[in-house]
Amino acid sequence: MLASVEDRSSPALILGSETLSEILDPTGPGRALPGAAYTSEQVFGWERARLFQQGWVAVGRVSDLAAKGSQSAVAVGGQNILLVGTGEGVNAFVNACRHRGHELVAQGCKVRRAQVWCAYHAWVYKLDGELRSAPRFEELAESDPVGMGLLPVRSAMWNGWLFVNLSGEAPDLVETLGNLTEVLAAYRLDTLQVGGRAEYALDANWKLLVENYLECYHCPSTHPELSRVQRTVNGEGFASTGLWLGGSLDLKNSATSMSLDGTGPDWTFPLLDEDRARQVCYYAVLPNLFVTATHDYVVTHRIEPLAAGRTKVVCEWLFDPELLGREGFDPGYAVDFWRTTNDQDWKACSSTQRGVSNDRYIAGPLASHEEELRTFLRALALAYRDDAPLRPVWTGGQA
């Protein structure tokens, strides 16, 4: 089911081996990717095949997908995937009937049925993918007639999210994420509930969103509201042993929460230590999930690349059930703040997409404030050079 990359030009050929070597040079100043990295459909096709089909990709919160009979269709690495809730978890399948390939649930839609049903020729499947009935095949065995159940897709649950790996060849998800589970343990992510949700469609390459997330160099000029409540320099970079990057920045002394006026509920995740409770922690789970953790809530962004210059983003606000269940509690203080911040970020990313699309654009050097961004670009350059999936070179991998 994976897309072939044999007929596509290698990103190393398109972007230039000298450019990649410069990005990979640990002694150099660091440099942004050339414009073609964000505009070439060939590079984008390679990324979907190598990074999004061969690695682990977050597809949603288990709590939204696991209800018995819940069925939804999502796009992962350009492939059509069916997610089926069992009441206890989620099964993932190729979203195609085994008869003639008709999709079982329309892309972007969600239904709830006791069984999976194909509207084309009325083949019926159980929630575990076993074929239950096929009209006019009555002469075959009643159990799984013609022996053609739905094709499974490898999946795993982590901290309340469902991840899928289309190739089936990636290391186990827990191994891929390294120490991130331990690092995030105090937020009890698997117990959090969604208190707000927003979807966005951006005219920007997916990497520009990752790059923007990994640096706060842009914050003073782009985010006046954020800069009033959070420091934008002297952050702490996190030691990662998995395929994630991140760091923290302190709240300003006058702020008690990440909100437009700097105030919020008198509540803190019980397991946070005193220092962490005054920090805003940013975690980029590569390639497509951002987890921003504060002392009183968590906001996440899940990105879905659609084309070289087009990306979908799903933003969710997560709260502890205790806080969300408080009488009179309104999550609007967090939702309004990040809606404002999101709008500013998306405008900046879309503007950057237009800039890098100019034929005369030349990539510039990186600032010292952009260390996490530089690390991400090195990982990308290594993947491009070696025609390989992303791997955490910051844990000792060779560049």
Contact 61, 160 (CB under 8 A): yes
pLDDT tens, residue by residue, 17-41 = 999 999 999 888 889 999 999 999 9
- The single-letter DSSP state of residue 149 is P
Burial class (CB in 10 A: 0-12, 13-18, 19+), 364: exposed
DSSP 298-341: EEEEEEEEEETTEEEEEEEEEE-HHHHTSTT--THHHHHHHHHH
Lookup: tokens for 205: 């390459």
In this model, does residue 1 exceed pLDDT 50? Answer: no
Lookup: tokens for 247: 């760091």
Where does the pLDDT of residue 209 fall: very low under 50, low under 70, confident under 90, or very high at 90 and above? very high
325 contact partners, CB below 8 Å, separation of at least 6? none
pLDDT tens, residue by residue, 334-356 = 999 999 999 999 999 999 999 99
Phi-psi region of 23 (alpha: psi -120 to 50; beta: other; left: phi over 0): alpha
Report the CATH fold assignment for 173-393.
Naphthalene 1,2-dioxygenase Alpha Subunit; Chain A, domain 1 (3.90.380)
Where does the pLDDT of residue 7 fall: very low under 50, low under 70, confident under 90, or very high at 90 and above? very low
pLDDT given for residue 136 in this prediction: 84
- Domain range summary for the chain, segments of one domain joined by +: 57-165, 173-393
Rounded Cα gap, residues 292 and 178, in angstroms: 18
pLDDT given for residue 281 in this prediction: 98
Tell me which architecture the domain covering 57-165 has in CATH: 3-layer Sandwich (2.102)
List for the chain the helix, strand, coil content (%; round to 5).
Answer: 30, 25, 45
Burial class (CB in 10 A: 0-12, 13-18, 19+), 239: exposed
pLDDT given for residue 28 in this prediction: 83
